Structure 1
Amino acid sequence: MSVTISDIAKTAGVSPATVSRVLNNSGYVKQETREKILKIIKELNYTPSAIARSLSTNKTNTIGVIVPDINNPFFGEVIKGISEIADKHDLNIILCDTDESMQKELKALKLLKEQRIQGIIITPTSVEDDFNSEYLSTLENLGIPIVLVDGHVKYSTFSGVFVDNIKGAYEGTEALIKAGHRKVAIITGRMNSKPAKDRLIGYKKALAMNNIPIDERYIFYGDYRQESGYKFTKEMVMMEDGPTAIFVCSNLMTLGCIKALHEDDLKIPEDMAIIGFDRIEILTIAGMNISFINGPTREMGSIGMKLLIDILKNEEKKEIKRITLLPELVLNGSEKYIKK
């Protein structure tokens, strides 16, 4: 049988309101009475209900995390980074997966507000091209601090942490060029997102800086999902004058690319060179030495959480902080040009 505030009050000979003031450390209570109540709480092994506490303080010790694809290892790493910092500050997490659906994201935002959470860390589904005033208004009117992670909301002024995607794509594409490739293809992410646009900019910049004309036949517009990496790689290997290397703009599309090459008995890098964006742990475990752009994924999560905590501690300041982290090029040999 659970112990209630009324039980503690009865044992201590005080009112439930007095016990509540001790529990919430609010209002005046005589030191002698306070010590007596705390002793009884300990003896009865009382644990205050999180729901009851939220009703009295209008807040829970919880933050919301919203991501577009929980199955993507990228977001698994981001969540780990968030969780590590949240644990140190005794904060709980409610995780929502939107499956890249705007409607699911709006539903998640409503749910989190009803849960009286303290703040939200979000990788938004919102698109760059089709500005949605209703969506932005929903975010701004939540009355809850919001931090963005690796995703932008057009015309918003939220704090956030991001990766320099132009630099990452430039260095990845240039590494393929320096290895000897002149016909370098790219599989982009969803082009209505800023990270995908920036990665395409970096790719084109690397070609231009190395005096290689941009060939639209080698630009394949993907969607970050494994299926698009698979589909477009199949198309590339069927081309008469196809590319000798592919810069793949997400980890899941890289898996799709590798699957397509494997099915056609094509070797990496002998038949097709590859550099992907973001590390894929399973490939390392399997002994596949694929070169990649290492975005500081877990660090993004931890910095995002720190930004949110800073906002919660200094809500009156409303200082906007936007931090951009630098990616790292990791070459494992899959970028090499093997002459036939």
Structure 2
Amino acid sequence: MATDHQGPATMLDVAAHAGVSRATVSRVFTAPESVAAATLERVLKAVEDLSYSPNAAARSLRSGRSNTVALLVGDISQPFHSQLAKSVAHVAEDRGYSLLLCDLDHSMDRLQRLLTVLPLQGVDGIMLATGDAIETPGIRAAIDAAEAKGTRVLLGSAQPDSSMALTVSPPFEEIGYLATKHLLAQERWPVALLSGFKGSVVSTLLRAGYLRACLEAGHSEKETMVLDAGFNSTSAQRETAKLLDGAAMPRGIVAANIPIALGAISALADRSLSVPDMVALVACEEVQLAEQLRPGLTTAGTDIGVQGEAMALALIDAIEGQAATARALVPHLTVRESSALS
């Protein structure tokens, strides 16, 4: 339904053009996940047809910027993501930007919707902090469209074959290598890798590092143990229990993150297997929770505060047209009780 409205289009114009209520249009911008896919597509088509901007007033201020950036995380319940968000928020505030935090819950549909809607809300930049493989045609098109609208997009983990210019990613392969090599140096063979899940870029890179360390130590790929643990403690506990009931029990475990390590520790405790005397553990991320646990968890990873700062500064520099300063994310090993030799 066309409109003959003179001047900038309003939300009512969009509603009339799409044949929906004003409330539905409002939900498209505030809670896109609550709108049916067909309706969302119709409203977004009306927005495009009418060149509607919900934040036209805000965009006219501050040299055409809203001074708002968004951080999209794979799972906000993860300790890593909450700590990363805190670091990003502090840097953004120091640079005069507000932060919008969005939980993807590992949903590609939700990611694509947010990449479409956030630029229309006047967001200046978007940071994607997820280890999922997002290099799909739909996501790629949504990122390109966001950039075309002037919203810069930054990847917080490297994607395979990505042409994205803005990427600030920890060296996950080196992290997996460092964690595995630490256990192998203690002659903790066999060593198992509790990865996240298939399709995760982080899991793929950690596995590559794990395999490299095992091969360097003289073990064949057939001897290795790699399990998909789903990035959460419940599935990790279940998969670890299966591993412990197998023919060869590991003497070392590399966990992709802290929740996976906690699930593994629970499975070991259920079988009265002590850590680290019988099985040693290393988690592939450094968060504050690791040192507060008992036993304290040995970690391999990069400083989350440094990572959040590097992501926020790189994105804001790009928004403001400044050359980004190279900021290296260097992995390090922090040995605690879960792998300490007695």
Aligned 8 A contact 2:317 2:324 in 1: no
Paired with 2:290 and 2:307, the residues of 1 have a C-alpha distance of 22
Equivalent residue, structure 2, for 1:105: 111
Secondary structure, aligned partner of 1:146: strand
1:68-107 alignment runs, 5 A limit: 68-107=74-113
Does the Cα contact within 8 Å between 1:123 and 1:151 map onto a contact in 2?
no
Partner SS for 1:270:
coil
Check conservation: 2:71, 2:100, Cα contact below 8 A: yes
Alignment partner of 2:183 out of 160, 171, 176: 176
How far off its partner does 1:116 sit?
Answer: 0.5
Correspondence for 1:197? 204
Q: Is 1:227 aligned to 2:234, yes or no?
A: yes
Pair 1:110–1:210, CA change in 2 (3 A): same
In 1, the alpha carbon distance for the partners of 2:294 and 2:259 equals 18
Q: What residue identity is the alignment partner of 2:311? A: G
* Partner in structure 1 of residue 137 of structure 2: 133
- Letter of the 2:86 partner, please give it: K
Matches within 5 A, 1:146-161: 146-152=153-159, 154-161=161-168
Q: Aligned pair in 2 of structure 1 residues 244, 322: CA closer, same or farther (>3 Å)? A: same
Paired amino acid for 2:74: P
Q: Which runs of 4+ in 1 moved over 4 A?
A: 319-324
Residue type at the aligned position of 2:128: I
CA contact (8 A) 2:233 2:263 kept: yes
* Distance of aligned partners of 1:114 and 1:132 in 2 relative to their CA distance in 1, 3 Å threshold: same
Counterpart for residue 279 of structure 2: 272
How far apart in 1 are the matches of 2:294 and 2:56?
A: 51
Could you list the per-position Cα deviations for residues 14-42 of structure 1 after superposition, in whole angstroms to 9, with x for gaps in the alignment? Answer: xxxxxxxxxxxxxxxxxxxxxxxxxxxxx
Letter in 1 for 2:83: E
RMSD: 2.5
CA distance in 1, matches of 2:208, 2:266: 27
TM-score scaled by structure 2? 0.76
Q: Which runs of 5 or more residues in structure 1 are unaligned?
A: 1-50
Instruction: State the identity %.
Output: 20
**Is the Cα contact below 8 Å between 2:258 and 2:290 reproduced in 1?**
no
Find the aligned partners of 1:291 and 1:78 in 2 and give their Cα distance.
20
CA distance in 2, matches of 1:170, 1:102: 29
SS of 1:305 mapped into structure 2: helix
Matched, 1:145 2:155: no
Shift of 1:154: 4.2
Say if 1:98 and 1:105, in contact at 8 Å, map to a contact too: yes
Q: State the secondary structure of the residue aligned to 1:136.
A: helix
Whether the 8 Å contact between 1:167 and 1:327 is mirrored in structure 2 is yes
Code of the aligned partner of 2:144:
E
Distance 1:218 1:121, change over 3 A: same
Give CA deviations for 1:76-101 in whole Å, capped at 9, x if unaligned: 12111211111111211111101000
Report how far residue 228 of structure 1 moved.
Answer: 2.7
Q: 1:125 to 1:195 in 2, by over 3 A?
A: closer
Query: Is the Cα contact below 8 Å between 2:112 and 2:138 reproduced in 1?
Result: no
Distance in 1 of aligned mates of 2:304 and 2:316: 19
Tell which structure's C-alpha radius of gyration is larger: 1
- CA–CA separation in structure 2 for the residues paired with 1:153 and 1:240: 35
Looking at structure 2, the residues matched to 126 and 206 of structure 1 have their Cα atoms a distance apart, in angstroms, of 24
Relative to structure 1, the CA distance from residue 75 to residue 216 in structure 2 (aligned partners, 3 Å threshold; closer, same or farther) is same
SS at match of 2:209: helix
8 Å contact from structure 2 (residues 152, 319) kept in 1: yes
How far apart are the structure 2 equivalents of 1:153 and 1:81? 26
Counterpart CA distance in 1 for 2:283 and 2:210 is 12
Query: Quick one: which amino acid aligns to residue 279 of structure 1?
Result: E
Cα 1:153–1:185 change in 2 (3 A) is closer
**Contact 1:248–1:275 at 8 Å: present in 2 too?**
yes
How far off is 1:287 after superposition? 3.9
TM-score scaled by length of structure 1: 0.76
Q: Which moved more, 1:78-87 or 1:207-216?
A: 207-216
Return the alpha-carbon distance in structure 2 between the equivalents of residues 187 and 162 of structure 1. Answer: 21
Higher RCO (CA-CA < 8 Å; seq separation 6+):
1
- Decide which of 60, 64, 75 is 2:70's aligned counterpart: 64
Are the equivalent residues in 1 in contact too, given 2:237–2:267 (CA < 8 A)? yes
- Report what 1:39 is aligned to: none
Matching residue of 2:335: 331
Cα offset, 1:322, TM superposition: 7.6
Q: Distance in 1 between matches of 2:255 and 2:293?
A: 19
Q: 1:286 to 1:185 in 2, by over 3 A?
A: closer
Q: Which residue of 2 aligns with 1:290?
A: 297
